[in-house]
Amino acid sequence: MTKILVIALGGAIGSVARYLIANSVDLTPGKFPFLTLSINAFGSFMMGVAFVILVEKSLFPSEIRDFVIIGFLSAFTTFSTFAFEVYFLFQNQNIVLALLYIMLSVLLCCLLLFLGIYFVRLI
């Protein structure tokens, strides 16, 4: 139960951090989403940093790892989790699978977002 609470707390803080950052800048629809790109890029970089410090080197207790990686960073940006999974596919020499995952993730998620908007607008 403690693990779930630690992850939930990290997730709550990550979500609030993203919300506060998003509300601090102009998010005019139709403009290139530099903010989202920046948050996702920063989150991906931090996922890499956290992985080395918290997983490979195990410099902190597992609760800190769960709080930062599963909780905070995953809520701050789910893209960092995606980037992390791509990294592991490449690390395991699954080049074709990694490229397929990249293409499917981007195309499928965008398509489903568009379809979700379309179908809800029909109601």
User: For the chain (length 123 residues), average pLDDT per consecutive 10?
Assistant: 96 95 74 79 90 94 96 90 88 94 92 90 89
Regarding whether 44 and 18 lie in a shared domain, the answer is yes
Q: Give me the pLDDT at residue 78, please.
A: 76
Regarding whether 102 and 72 lie in a shared domain, the answer is no
Alpha-carbon distances, residue 95 vs 83, 87, 100, 102, 118 (angstroms): 14, 10, 9, 11, 34
Token pair, residue 74, equals 């995953």
Regarding whether 21 and 7 lie in a shared domain, the answer is yes
Alpha-carbon dihedral angle through residues 103, 106, 109, 115, given to the nearest 10 degrees:
-90
Domain encompassing residue 116: 95-123
Q: Give me the pLDDT at residue 84, please.
A: 84
Q: Using CA atoms, how far apart are residues 123 and 121, in angstroms rounded to an integer?
A: 5
pTM attached to this predicted model: 0.76
Q: Using CA atoms, how far apart are residues 39 and 15, in angstroms rounded to an integer?
A: 12
Regarding whether 109 and 81 lie in a shared domain, the answer is no
Q: Give me the pLDDT at residue 9, please.
A: 98
Regarding whether 52 and 99 lie in a shared domain, the answer is no
